[in-house]
Every structure is written in structure tokens, then in C-alpha cells.
Amino acid sequence: MPLVEITYAPHLPEAKLRELGSVLPHLVSVAVECPEEPYDGDLQPGDVELRFRTPGPFDRFGLDLLVEARSKWFPSRVDLLRTSIEAATGIDDVGVYLSLPVAAWSQSD
């Protein structure tokens, strides 16, 4: 289950952020798909968790949009994720940080 934190510039329109929130779970799932965790295209609640925030008063933030995706360790295609986000939203100044630590996840039924 990827955890995704989105930091966005305050000037981005709410409609763009809603659009991003609707397409991002699929884009992240495609970007981090691997043989151990194949993506079947049928996202369920809890499969991808999104957290949106604006920069705080002490943050140094030079992008319109920064997407940080964290998931379990496996090879990924971070450039594909960035270009997919740009294409889906029309936002040109996008950074993506994909962190894949060695980790495990447990979730109640």
C-alpha cells in the first residue's frame, strides 16, 4: 500500500487538486507495480492513501507540486510517475520523490 504525501503551492486551484486526487492512486499504482505486487486495476479503499498539505511558514518550497510516494522496496519507474502527473494535471513544475524502504505492512481486515 503506497502512502502518498502531496505538497502543493497555495495558488493551485482546488479543481486541479481534486483532479490530482482522483488520478493519483492509479498513477502511483502503475508506477510501483512489480511482480510481487501486481496492479490489477481494481483499487480498493486503503490501497493508496493520499495526504494533501500546503507548505508551512518555515518550509522552503520552490515547486508548484511535490508528490512523495512511499511503498515497500521494489524497482520502480519514478520518471513515468512524474510525467504521468504532469500529463494528467497540466502542472509543469512537478517533483516526485519515490521512497522504497525495506518494510512490511499489516492491516486489519
Of the CA atoms within 13 Å of residue 100, those in its CB half-sphere come to: 14
Residue 109 lies in a domain: no
Q: What is the DSSP letter of 21?
A: H
Question: In this structure, are residues 52 and 79 in contact, taking their beta carbons and an 8 Å threshold?
Answer: no
Taking only Cα atoms into account, the Rg of the chain, rounded to an integer number of angstroms, comes to 14
Whether 72 is in a domain gets the answer: yes
Provide the CATH number for the domain around residue 36. 3.30.429.10
Domain hosting 26: range is 3-99
Q: What is the phi/psi pair of residue 44, to 5°?
A: -115, 160
Taking the complete model, does pTM exceed 0.75, yes or no? no
Ranges 4-18, 34-48, 85-99, most confident: 4-18
Query: Tell me: the pLDDT tens digits for 19-49?
Result: 999 999 998 888 777 776 778 888 888 788 9
Helices (H), 32-108: 78-89
DSSP 73: S
Number of domains within the chain: 1
* Three-state SS at 52: strand
For residue 75, the surrounding DSSP H or E stretch is none
Is 24 a member of any domain? yes
